[in-house]
Amino acid sequence: MTLDPQAKWVLDIAKEKGLPTLDELSAEDAKAAYEERAIALSFKGIDIGKSIDLKIPGPLGDIPVRIYHPLGMEAPLPVLVYYHGGGWVVGSPNTHDSLCRKIANSGPFVVVSVDYRMGPEHPFPAAVNDAYAALNWCVDHIADYDGDASRIAVGGDSAGGNLSAVVCLVAREEKTYMPKFQWLIYPGTDMRMNSRSHETFADGYFLTRSLMTYFRKHYLQNPDDKMDWRASPLLAVSLAGLPPALVQTAGFDPLQDEGKAYAERMKKEGSNAHLTHYAGMLHGFINLGGVIDQASNCIDEGVAALRKAFS
């Protein structure tokens, strides 16, 4: 297995510039640094029909969301509720703005990007509660924004993939609206961080063991939280009765084994899951579309799966 040359270039540039890793920074500085770095390497010049910033009611205050209407939109369209990555600590709709624009246009879909609360200011389970509230708000109100409330899916990368999986588990437990599909892009599913890939790729490929430990420290309130299925969906008693999923993993990513394990358990327990492995990629590549060509392939696969689920 060989690291893709474009992925290697991203690592080399960071090293040449001497950029500090996020875990070397305070949470506040890490948020600002990630914002700058993500936007610099994301897709450029993606036009959109319309984007709408608003605040929706949440369990402990308003939740900012950004709603995207694709170019040439003919209402109503199916809806993707998107949860950005960033270790439940960094990231925002701004860091994933170009990605959400591309998804909306490619669908075409209405995309709702959720600015859920994050650590350390708002530790677990604040992000879960906001993610679930945003899904249910869409069920009740997305028709007002030309979305089809009967066709809603969830998706996200990394921490956002985790939240997408957890939201579906919560919906099953609460017997509320179940998303039609879950798009899980290199999701975190097991906070114990004890898989073989966590050992193999502990250092050198952006998402290191040190950075994962940093994120976990800022997100979870106590050590026992890592055993809670709302933090570690792989530890849920059952993965039956869930909507179909596309799970995409990356080859140079400590999270790959837990993503694979989640897909395998879903299939074993009667839920439909398809696993795709991007062998030469590193964690975070879908949001590096400005410099990594495989990001577009990953998006195209996810969009095709969503179209099939919505049809």
Q: Mind telling me the catalytic residues?
A: 158, 253, 283
Cα-flanking dihedrals φ and ψ of residue 142, to 5°?
A: -70, -20
Amino acid making up residue 49: G
Residue 285 is classified by DSSP as G
Distances in whole angstroms, Cα of residue 199 to Cα of each of 60, 254, 273, 309? 38, 7, 26, 35
8 A C-beta contact, residue 147 and residue 180? no
Closest CA relative to residue 57, chosen from 127, 159, 136, 118: 136
DSSP one-letter string for 148-216: EEEEEEEEEETHHHHHHHHHHHHHHHHT-PPPS-EEEES----TT--SHHHHHTSSSSSS-HHHHHHHH
**Residue 63: Cβ-neighbour burial (10 angstroms; 0-12, 13-18, 19+):** buried
d(C-alpha 171, C-alpha 163), whole Å:
12
- Amino acid present at 216: R
Give buried/exposed letters for 196-230 (b at 16+ CB in 10 A, else e).
Answer: ebbeebeeebbbbeebbebbbebbbeeeebbebbb
C-alpha distances in angstroms, 204 versus 1, 32, 84, 199, 247?
15, 22, 23, 12, 24
